[in-house]
Structure 1
Amino acid sequence: MNDGATREDSSAPTSRWFISAPAATDLRTLLRELKRRGVDPYVLSDVAPLGASIAQSLRQAIAQAETVLVVLGNPDQSQSTLFEAGVAVGMGKRVIVIADPDQDTSPDLDGLLTIRARPDDVEAVAYALAQAEGRLVRVTPATSAVEHALGSTQVNELLELLREQPMRLERTAVDVLKAALEGSGAVAVENPDPKVGDRLDLGVWSDDLGAIALNPLLIELKRTLSRSAVEQTLHLLQRSRMNAALLVYLDPPTNAEFREALRVPSFPVLTISLETLLERMRASSFAEVVRDLRNRAVHGRAYS
């Protein structure tokens, strides 16, 4: 047994770190280095209680941690980890990001301590962790305990911004949607995929969504509502660690039969147009709008 292993075994952990990483990531090097530094690292499967929902398990896992270490890989593999970073920020946890040097990171992670290294590069990880010591600060929660309505002034500004763009640009629509969510008191984290127009989905976290077992919530933005859009959203939901998704669209469905069928919402993929969502957020919080959509789906009530 080498000296490094001896120090690792004899060191008493000084803090607990939750490690969020894509399922296929090799974390052995990273975990050994953390343990050598006196950290007790764990992943979701280490602490998730049997029979609990993924969302509930995730929140409990993050709550137990002093620090959350988020490992980002390529964009297709990093969606759930980015969402978990947003949950951690919303809960006021200290967050460190390990990002592949060859991949772009989401602007939503700006301001977080970011390590540019691969998790299996022991020298880079060791150096970066050494630099990080003493620089960790607790993130001020970006969400209040209770969400709130936007009010007419902010809704009118967002609607004007949305309608003045030619062809209702999807990038603008994403910015409007994020502004509405954050203005209501939620934490919205965007997909790190750098290809604009390709899967512009968000992860949303708030205390109020947690109260209705929809925390975090996956949001997909589509230009047009269609069966394929619903199926794509369901597919993304099944790959994520979330219980439900909200499909927000810009244009109404063109098929009359499908449009009639959508009068009764379905679960776990709820649907609403962006303009309707904004209108409802004049007097209701985002979580209240989602709760109404879910209740209508559960009870099979059509929209008026």
Structure 2
Amino acid sequence: MSPDIMQEEYEIRLVQYLLANRFLRQSNGKLVTSRTIADDTIGFETEDSLCREWLLSIYESYSFYEGFDTMEDCIHFIESSYYDNHLYRIVQFSTMFYAIIYENTQYQQVIGKEIAYFTRNNLFLCTKRPPSNLTFKERIKMPPIPLIYYELHAFDPHMKVFKLDSDTSDSFQEVPILDAIEYAVLLGVTFKDIWYSCDTPHAIAHNRAILNLYFNPGHNLTLFGKYSKALAINPFQRLVTLAKGRVAQFQMDADDLRAQPRLLPYRDVRRYHENIRTRPENIELESVSD
């Protein structure tokens, strides 16, 4: 599955959309974000230069996988799953359909045609279909940062979200996407696939500024990468690349700034081995700062 829009057209559409939604604004011909990212730690870099580099990186930061071909196929999966129908939303994106559960950051599923993501033990794991024993964990459902929804919207302005009509019905009705934006954001997170280098002081400061657009300040993801002796970090897929090209999973609670990220202990690496995205494809770091 690949987007039906070329990069230049995508970037024009995205900037127009971000300006219209006031996530971006222009000041004397320069770009400024609603979540200010330049600070004293950046030094010689400006908000405008950071914005432009970030905007040019977005198109290629997405790696799409196929959803269900039809709404009926998606509903059939939901009806046959281990989980209550009312927990699901269906996101229609680029003619594909994805079944999604998002109760909070500890209880999430995204199911496509051949692959599914799910959360467990502060990990983001993948498999062909979610396991049957995922349990609900009570906690506050925090509102998501909408940026990834904006990025997906620029790929597909006709994206829609549906929910079950009733507990007994197998038909879904459309809901306003802004009332279900967290489902679109979660889908986008599973698509988002980009590495940020964290092996020099400049890269740490530079990429921390960009990551502040996506995560609440306080996680210090690039600093975590540094202290983990990582060369680069992929916070959306919760991966780091270490010396000699080794890729490792890390745990992160996106809603609890007090819970610091940590590399997965070896005993859990073995425990979750079959569900960890090991990334056999080549890792390219050209799009991140060094």
- TM-score by shorter chain over 0.5: no
**Rg larger in structure:** 1
- Name the TM-score, length of structure 2 as normaliser: 0.29
